[in-house]
Structure 1
Amino acid sequence: MPRLSTFHTMKKIPLALMLSLFLPALCAAADPDADAGKRKAEACVACHGPAGNSSGGAFPTLAGQTSRYLYLQLRDFKEGRRKDPSMSPVAAALSKEDMQDLAAYFSAQKQAGNGFKPDPAKVKAGAAKASETLCAMCHLGELKGQNEIPRLAGQQPDYVIKQLKDFRERNRTNDAGNMTSVSKNLSDDDIANLAHYIASLY
């Protein structure tokens, strides 16, 4: 009896079995590499601090942020949906793999204290405003974030203030309008109070 060719043999293997054999290897190859991300993140230290813990100013803390959010923001910077004079040129040079590795690395880091001393009165007012605007509905309890919704807890207040004002003024629009809708009725005092409250959650 003639020997069947490899092609004819494979035709007899059920598709589900073939997928079960080959897909795990393909998926493993595509997994983000936090170790590679650590090497790539060396260039981020100057602005975002060691292990993604910013020392203040307009540079956000990345440590402990959700990996999905980090990846999407890098992609948006790269593709022009979000613009920043510092981040846009950096992201332009990143590959998809780079962005996934960086997101995996920073999301795995432990968030350190932000060094900010919030005003108790502003924290109280900010907590009330956060409750009124239902921040926890998307950002979860204690604003810890989930999937593509960012972790806010412990974030640098200057960064929070800038982003909320950018959303309010439509200078940042890469969120399908959700934050623009929330922020359009916030006063500057509301935004400052929210920043103090968010910083206090670490």
Structure 2
Amino acid sequence: MASNSPKLETAEELFELFIDEQRLKEYRYNQPVETPEGFSNETFYTDLPYEEIKEIVEQKREELFSKIPEDEKANLVWEHVGSTSIKGMPGTKFPDALLILPSFPPSKAVIQAFLDCGYYFSSCSHLDVKDLWFFFVFTDGILKYHKLTVHVTLEDNKAGKILRDTRDMCRSEQWAFDDYKNAKIEAAKSKDFKGYKQGKGSNSKLLAMLREKYA
């Protein structure tokens, strides 16, 4: 996979990428976030501002949907997922959302809506070429210098199902919440962000169970 592919900035270019599976697998664009000296956007918080982040993610949904034609909007589903969607769950200030499509790839109108709202396309998931990752970089407010990841995918996508089930089970079952919380706290002891990301997945019985369920 390329270390940094050229940034694609039009809906036409991105649509052509999304229908070329081999090229899509190899494409990876990363846009680093410039942060002030002494500030880390990878800080782990034990008390994430749940209500405020939930409201911001909802605002991003409204912004995106306002740019999508009415006839397409009705067939799209947006869901807040990840740690910031679970009240009381520790983590970082990087929210996640799912945009569930009726079919793949997303239409040029949907792609254009992302571009009009200031997102850039980074890559597909290494697990599934039909899990597209769009990023929005916050430049103000409590999420300044952090990114929102929107996973653009289909209803039957395994990663999407794991994200939704993790959220729903942590909200409804205490053992699941405690398991995931403890895995994240343990992983946060890692010396770098990559170690944290890997550790929270490998230490959780809940995630192991869901990966097996959707294997």
Common fold, TM-score beyond 0.5? no
Q: If the TM-score is normalised by the length of the shorter chain, which range does it land in?
A: under 0.3
Greater RCO (Cα-Cα under 8 Å, separation 6 or more): 1
Say which structure is richer in helix: 1
Q: TM-score, normalised by structure 2?
A: 0.24
Say which structure is richer in strand: 2
Q: Bigger radius of gyration, 1 or 2?
A: 1
Q: TM-score, normalised by structure 1?
A: 0.25
